[in-house]
């Protein structure tokens, strides 16, 4: 199943309702499309021990990977009115599985689509 960038972003936007962000109030939702057409959502989950906080993008990836998925086509990330570009840790995390994934965000009402390699041109990679 293919899914439009607009639809994937809508799903990410809808997922924000489940974000757990009592400290920052910055609620993020992500929607991840797998190679086989399934969508996994994620939200940011903060913690009293700040270092234990996890971003929406990695939550979506962790859910999918733990269900056996390994290939991903695109991920939409929504923080409401503000554009939310994946942080450095998430960029590296996503690169491990899908260097060519497209990252969809929205800025000033317009969807922006960037290949991950543009956001992270020189990723760290170990030989497998």
What is 25-76 written as a DSSP string? Answer: ----EEEEEETTS-EEEEE-B--SSGGG-B-HHHHHHHHHHHTT---EEEEE
Which positions touch Zn ion (CB under 5 A)?
55, 87, 90
Could you tell me which of 82, 35, 38, 40 has the C-alpha nearest to residue 58?
40
Q: What is the smallest separation between the CB atom of 123 and Zn ion, expressed in angstroms?
A: 15
The two structure tokens encoding residue 48: 């009293």
Q: What is the smallest separation between the CB atom of 76 and Zn ion, expressed in angstroms?
A: 14
For Zn ion, the closer CB: 9 or 61: 61
Nearest residue to Zn ion, scored by beta-carbon proximity:
55
Q: What is the smallest separation between the CB atom of 51 and Zn ion, expressed in angstroms?
A: 13
For Zn ion, the closer CB: 8 or 58: 58
Separation in Å, CA 12 to CA 18, 27, 52, 80: 11, 11, 22, 10
Pair 64, 72: CB distance under 8 Å: yes
Task: Determine which one of 6, 38, 57, 118 is catalytic.
Answer: 57
Is 57 designated active site?
A: yes
For Zn ion, the closer CB: 3 or 45: 45
Q: Which residues are catalytic?
A: 57
């Amino acid at each position: 199943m293919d899914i439009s960038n607009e639809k994937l972003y809508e799903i990410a936007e809808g997922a924000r309702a489940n974000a757990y962000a009592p400290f920052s109030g910055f609620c993020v939702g992500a929607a991840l499309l797998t190679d086989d057409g399934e969508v996994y959502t994620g939200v940011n989950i903060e913690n009293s021990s700040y270092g234990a906080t996890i971003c929406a993008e990695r939550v979506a990836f962790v859910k999918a990977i733990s269900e056996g998925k390994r290939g991903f086509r695109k991920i939409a990330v929504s923080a409401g009115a503000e554009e939310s570009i994946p942080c450095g840790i998430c960029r590296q995390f996503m690169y491990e599985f899908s260097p060519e994934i497209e990252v969809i965000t929205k800025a000033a009402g317009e969807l922006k689509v960037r290949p991950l390699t543009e956001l992270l041109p020189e990723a760290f990679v170990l030989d497998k």
